[in-house]
């Protein structure tokens, strides 16, 4: 009876064991004895486990001896996530050595950080490795600075500049190096200018101060200008008085300071002329406001040009009563034939209502040499419009008065041009404006690098930062250079002030950047806000991007602008857009009749740099 009970207990225990549902330590003969939590039967352990080999675990996990999936890896790729590498067969990391990082990065503590080294001197396009400093820079020696106008490497910033010291400046008329802008200029401070000139905005202009004297024979006025006099003590001879309004020595001063001899008074042109000053000069004791004596008895008691008739001084002139200095007698009246419209040059020569007498000649006041007034000459790139000197390189007066450029046109200083790439070379003054970001600045230099070769050798190219207040309005980013000038600049509308002004503030670009602030970037048309390109952020990489190359015109100044930048962060699209413009579009600009082009770039040789072997797919264009 006891033996039978023991058999039943043993059978019951076996039944309970056979019904164990895959918990830890479950005995098994095959996988059919296990469940989803531990679906494999380990032959050596005869126990249900989570895994028996690495490939039964997810990426970044391996199967340990206990049959559990644990974090780790076993070889270089090690079943790690895409973009990670196996560290010493133990853990998945961003990098295990420098070659796992992109251009301009090094592997430190298994993470890619900015930098480069002699062992890994790979930098983004347009930059080179400064192994001593361990970073990618524009230059380390002058020999690496080949762009026109930027021949010197600034050791403080490792960027190509116009100069670092005065000895770098060889251009005639610009012998000094401006330490603030690193450009060669005519002057940096006053002592570098001749006597009678001061340094303003790096140009010697007429002026003086306590430290910068005037030429011999002149004195410095309170307004900082070299003048003939400021006090009477500086005058003498036939011109003993100083007219403080004009700062010149004159014969006399009207009013209480009148020093003319008795029987003469001081005219408003500071010349002594016949006439009474006060009643003491007249027999009647009364000097009239016209400087003639009341109740005159002699012609000499009348002001010059007047005769005494029946006790009254009357305007007249004759051989015995000559006019004053600088005047002629015409029909009994004393006139200045240098500026009298009825007697211009000679008596009786009238200039008419539409003319004026200028230095004895009748002239129209609508010419560039006499605009609005005699002797008012209009400068270069301007002419006389409505009796005022007006620039002729603006959108409203292009090449002449009232010649307006149409929509989507710019003025080259002579005629209106279409805002398209075949017309790009019309302007001869080019300004490459950098926004201060290293990759953007390198791309800006590339945009300008082939302009002289593909346009005209007479084209001048100047390089400078967007902080140059004479080029860019520091408040809103507007371009100040005017018609006949072209700006080239690389960078998006957030770091780049001119692009922000044109695209965001004035909204004159035909295409603009947009994002859903989550995971997608767009290039949209201004006209209807339709998407030209929709690009997932996940598609961005050092080997793939979408870039824009566009021409637009600043409506306030008429400056033509070439802008280029990529959709993705990282600067690869911006660099590629600049390279594509300089090497493909500009040399073949007649094949690009629109004002904007958008391309998708795929780095087919995976070197993170644009070249002719890569794929460039047109995603959109227009005017």
Mean residue pLDDT of the chain comes to: 89
pLDDT at residue 78, as a whole number: 54
Beta strand spans in 155-281 (E) = 159-161, 176-178, 183-185, 197-200, 203-206, 219-220, 226-227, 241-243, 248-250, 264-266, 272-274
pLDDT at residue 82, as a whole number: 75
pLDDT at residue 89, as a whole number: 63
CB 189 within 8 A of CB 176: no
Q: Which is more confidently placed, 309 or 466?
A: 466
Average the pLDDT over 54-70 and give the result.
Answer: 80
pLDDT at residue 84, as a whole number: 80
pLDDT at residue 76, as a whole number: 52
CA–CA distance, 153 with 164 (Å, rounded to integer): 8
Average the pLDDT over 30-51 and give the result.
Answer: 85
Grade residue 12 by pLDDT with cuts at 50, 70 and 90. Answer: very low
pLDDT at residue 75, as a whole number: 61
pLDDT at residue 16, as a whole number: 35
Grade residue 88 by pLDDT with cuts at 50, 70 and 90. Answer: low
- pLDDT tens profile 468-497: 999 999 999 999 998 999 999 999 999 999
User: Cα 493 vs. chain centroid, distance in angstroms?
Assistant: 13
CB 294 within 8 A of CB 288: yes
CA–CA distance, 522 with 548 (Å, rounded to integer): 11
Grade residue 131 by pLDDT with cuts at 50, 70 and 90. Answer: confident
DSSP letters for 290-338: TS-BTT-SSGGGS-TTEEEETTEEEE---SSS---TT-EEETTEEE-TT
Percent helix, percent strand, percent coil in the chain, to nearest 5: 15, 30, 55
pLDDT at residue 332, as a whole number: 75
C-alpha pair distances (Å), 125 with each of 572, 579, 607: 9, 9, 10
pLDDT at residue 316, as a whole number: 82
Grade residue 509 by pLDDT with cuts at 50, 70 and 90. Answer: very high
Average the pLDDT over 270-286 and give the result.
Answer: 91
C-alpha pair distances (Å), 140 with each of 127, 153, 564: 10, 6, 27
Query: In terms of C-beta distances under 8 Å and separation of at least 24 residues, what long-range contacts does 393-398 make, across chains too?
Result: 393/482, 393/483, 393/484, 393/558, 394/482, 394/483, 394/558, 395/483, 395/553, 395/555, 395/558, 398/483
pLDDT at residue 412, as a whole number: 93
> Does residue 1 carry a pLDDT above 60?
no
CB 449 within 8 A of CB 442: no
Query: How large a percentage of the chain has pLDDT more than 90?
Result: 60
Average the pLDDT over 439-465 and give the result.
Answer: 96
CA–CA distance, 72 with 56 (Å, rounded to integer): 13
Among candidate residues 171, 230, 223, the one with its CA nearest the CA of residue 198: 223
CB 623 within 8 A of CB 595: yes
Average the pLDDT over 173-185 and give the result.
Answer: 94
CA–CA distance, 483 with 480 (Å, rounded to integer): 9
- pLDDT tens profile 321-344: 788 788 888 877 778 999 898 999
CB 275 within 8 A of CB 266: no
Grade residue 519 by pLDDT with cuts at 50, 70 and 90. Answer: very high
CA–CA distance, 235 with 251 (Å, rounded to integer): 10
Average the pLDDT over 355-382 and give the result.
Answer: 89
Can you read off the two tokens belonging to residue 434? 């950098």
SS3 123: coil
Average the pLDDT over 406-429 and give the result.
Answer: 94
Average the pLDDT over 436-452 and give the result.
Answer: 97
Residue 430 has φ and ψ, to the nearest 5°, of: -120, 135
> Does residue 575 carry a pLDDT above 80?
yes
> Does residue 443 carry a pLDDT above 90?
yes
Q: Which is more confidently placed, 35 or 422?
A: 422
pLDDT at residue 17, as a whole number: 39
Q: Which is more confidently placed, 402 or 91?
A: 402
The partner residues of 523 in beta bridges, in order of sequence, read 513, 533
Can you read off the two tokens belonging to residue 421? 């790439």
């Amino acid at each position: 009876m006891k033996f039978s009970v023991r058999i039943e207990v043993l059978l019951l225990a076996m039944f309970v064991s056979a019904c164990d549902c895959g918990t830890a330590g479950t005995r098994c003969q095959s996988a059919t004895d296990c469940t989803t939590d531990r679906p494999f039967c380990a032959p050596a352990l005869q126990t249900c486990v989570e895994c028996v080999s690495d490939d039964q675990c997810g990426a970044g996990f391996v199967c340990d001896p206990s049959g559990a999936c644990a974090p780790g890896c076993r070889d270089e790729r090690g079943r790690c996530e895409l973009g990670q590498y196996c560290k010493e067969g133990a853990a998945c990391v961003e990098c295990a050595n420098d070659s796992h990082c992109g251009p301009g990065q090094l592997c430190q503590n298994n993470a890619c950080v900015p930098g480069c080294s002699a062992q890994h001197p790979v930098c983004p396009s347009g930059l080179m490795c400064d192994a001593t400093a361990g970073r990618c820079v524009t230059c380390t020696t002058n020999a690496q600075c080949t762009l026109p106008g930027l021949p010197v490497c600034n050791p403080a910033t490792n960027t190509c500049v116009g100069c670092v010291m005065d000895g770098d400046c060889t251009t005639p008329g610009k012998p000094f190096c401006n330490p603030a802008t690193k450009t060669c200029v005519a002057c940096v401070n006053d002592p570098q200018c001749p006597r009678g000139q001061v340094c303003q905005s790096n140009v010697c202009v007429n002026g003086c101060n306590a430290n910068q004297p005037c030429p011999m024979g002149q004195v410095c006025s309170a307004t900082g200008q070299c003048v003939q006099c400021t006090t009477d003590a500086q005058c003498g001879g036939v011109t003993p008085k100083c007219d403080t309004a004009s700062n010149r020595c004159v014969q006399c001063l009207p009013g209480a300071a009148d020093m003319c001899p008795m029987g003469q008074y001081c005219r408003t042109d500071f010349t002594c002329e016949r006439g009474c000053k006060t009643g003491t000069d007249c027999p009647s004791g009364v000097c009239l406001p016209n400087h003639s004596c009341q109740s005159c008895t002699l012609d000499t008691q009348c002001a010059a040009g007047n005769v005494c008739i029946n006790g009254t001084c009357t305007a007249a002139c004759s051989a015995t009563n000559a006019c004053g200095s600088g005047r002629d007698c015409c029909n009994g009246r004393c006139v200045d034939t240098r500026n009298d419209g009825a007697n211009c040059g000679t008596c009786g020569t009238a200039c008419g209502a539409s003319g004026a007498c200028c230095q004895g000649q009748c002239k129209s006041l609508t010419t560039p040499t006499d605009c609005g007034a005699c002797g008012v000459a209009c400068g270069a790139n301007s002419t006389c419009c409505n009796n005022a000197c007006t620039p002729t390189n603006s959108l409203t007066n292009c090449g002449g008065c009232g010649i307006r450029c149409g929509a989507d046109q710019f003025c080259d200083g002579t005629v209106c041009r279409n805002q398209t790439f075949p017309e790009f070379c019309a302007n001869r003054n080019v300004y490459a404006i950098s926004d201060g970001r290293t990759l953007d600045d390198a791309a800006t230099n590339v945009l300008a690098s082939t302009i002289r070769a593909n346009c005209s050798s007479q084209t001048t190219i100047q390089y400078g930062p967007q902080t140059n207040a004479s080029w860019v309005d520091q408040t809103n980013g507007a371009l100040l250079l005017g018609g006949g000038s072209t700006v080239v600049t690389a960078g998006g509308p957030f770091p780049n002030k001119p692009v922000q002004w044109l695209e965001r503030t004035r909204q004159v670009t035909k295409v603009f950047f947009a994002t859903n602030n989550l995971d997608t970037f767009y290039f949209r048309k201004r006209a209807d806000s339709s998407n030209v390109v929709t690009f997932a952020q996940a598609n961005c990489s050092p080997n793939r991007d979408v870039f824009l190359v566009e021409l637009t015109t600043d409506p306030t100044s008429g400056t033509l602008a070439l802008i280029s930048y990529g959709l993705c962060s990282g600067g690869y699209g911006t660099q590629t857009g600049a390279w594509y413009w300089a090497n493909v579009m500009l040399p073949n600009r007649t094949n690009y009749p629109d004002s904007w082009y958008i391309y998708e770039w795929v780095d087919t040789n995976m070197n993170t740099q644009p070249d002719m072997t890569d794929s460039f797919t047109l995603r959109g264009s227009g005017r």
